[in-house]
Amino acid sequence: MPSFVYLASQSPRRRQLLEQIGVDHRLLIAQDDDPEPQDPEALELVLARESATDYVQRVTGLKLDAALARLERRGLDVAPVLCSDTTVSLGRQILGKPETPEHAREMLQALSGKTHRVLTAVALQSGRKRLTTLSVSSVQFAPMDAAQIDAYVASGEPMGKAGAYGVQGRAAAYIAKISGSYSGIMGLPVFETANLLRAAGFAI
- Indicate if the pLDDT at residue 38 is higher than 80: no
pLDDT tens per residue across span 59-83: 999 999 999 999 999 999 999 999 9
Residue 131 bridge partners (DSSP): 124
Q: How many of the other CB atoms lie within 10 Å of CB of 103?
A: 17
- Which amino acids are annotated catalytic? 85
pTM over 0.75: yes
| Whether the Cβ atoms of residue 81 and residue 111 lie closer than 8 Å to each other | no
pLDDT at 69: 93
Classify domain 5-199 at the CATH topology level.
Maf protein (3.90.950)
pLDDT digits (tens, 9 = 90+) for 97-112: 999 999 999 999 999 9
Q: For 117-135, what is each residue's pLDDT tens digit?
A: 999 999 999 999 999 999 9
User: What are the residue boundaries of the structural domains of the chain, listed by start?
Assistant: 5-199
Q: What is the pLDDT of residue 36?
A: 63
